[in-house]
Chains A and B, each alone.
Chain A
Amino acid sequence: MTDISSLILQGLAAVLVLSVLGLIATVVVTAVRDRIRTARRERLSAVLLDICDGEDLPAPRSTRDAETIADLAVRLATSLKGSDREALSAWLQRSGFPGRARAWMRRRNPASRLRGVALVTTINGPRSGRALVEMLADPHRRVRAGAARGLGITGAGSDIPALFSAVAAGRIPAGLAAMSVLRIFPTSGGQLESGFSSRDPSVRRIAAEIAGRLELADARPRLERLLGDSDATVVSAALAALVRIDDPEALTALRRERDRLADDPTRREFERTISRLEALEPVG
Chain B
Amino acid sequence: MARVVIVDDDQDLRRLLERRLVREGHDVVTAADGIEGLALIREYQPDLVVLDWMMPRMNGIEVTQLLRDNPDSGGEGVRILILTARSQESDVVRALSAGADDYLVKPFSSTELAARVSSLLARR
- Residues in B whose Cβ lies below 8 Å from that of A77: 107
Q: Judging by beta carbons under 8 Å apart, are A79 and B13 in contact?
A: yes
On chain B, the number of residues with a Cβ less than 8 Å from chain A's Cβ atoms is: 15
Identify which of A75, A78, A82 contacts B110 (C-beta below 8 A): A82
Alpha-carbon distance A167/B85, docked complex (angstroms): 28
Q: Judging by beta carbons under 8 Å apart, are A84 and B109 in contact?
A: yes
Shortest beta-carbon distance, A211 to chain B, in Å?
24
Q: Judging by beta carbons under 8 Å apart, are A79 and B108 in contact?
A: yes
Alpha-carbon distance A48/B19, docked complex (angstroms): 12
On chain A, the number of residues with a Cβ less than 8 Å from chain B's Cβ atoms is: 18
Shortest beta-carbon distance, A76 to chain B, in Å?
5
Identify which of B10, B19, B108, B109 contacts A49 (C-beta below 8 A): B19
A30 CB within 8 Å of chain B: no
8 A Cβ contacts from A31-69 to B: 45-46, 48-49, 52-53
B88 CB within 8 Å of chain A: no
- Give A79-92 as 1s and 0s: 1 = Cβ < 8 Å from B's Cβ atoms: 11111110000000
B111 CB within 8 Å of chain A: yes
Q: Judging by beta carbons under 8 Å apart, are A49 and B13 in contact?
A: no
Q: Judging by beta carbons under 8 Å apart, are B107 and A49 in contact?
A: no
Q: Judging by beta carbons under 8 Å apart, are B12 and A80 in contact?
A: no
- Give B1-24 as 1s and 0s: 1 = Cβ < 8 Å from A's Cβ atoms: 000000000111101100100000
Q: Judging by beta carbons under 8 Å apart, are A82 and B111 in contact?
A: yes
8 A Cβ contacts from B87-117 to A: 106-112
Alpha-carbon distance A75/B10, docked complex (angstroms): 10
A72 CB within 8 Å of chain B: yes
Return 26 A-B CB contacts under 8 Å, by A number: A45-B11, A45-B12, A46-B15, A49-B15, A49-B19, A52-B16, A72-B12, A75-B10, A75-B12, A76-B12, A76-B16, A78-B107, A79-B85, A79-B106, A79-B107, A80-B16, A80-B107, A80-B110, A81-B109, A82-B109, A82-B111, A82-B112, A83-B109, A83-B110, A84-B16, A84-B110
7 pairs of A and B residues whose beta carbons are closest in the complex: A82-B109, A81-B107, A79-B106, A76-B12, A84-B110, A81-B109, A79-B13
| Besides A45-B12, A76-B16, A79-B106, 12 new A-B residue pairs in contact (Cβ under 8 A), listed by A number | A48-B12, A49-B16, A49-B19, A52-B16, A78-B106, A79-B85, A79-B108, A80-B107, A81-B108, A82-B110, A82-B111, A82-B112
Query: Interface residues, chain A, CB within 8 Å of chain B?
Result: 45-46, 48-49, 52-53, 72, 75-85
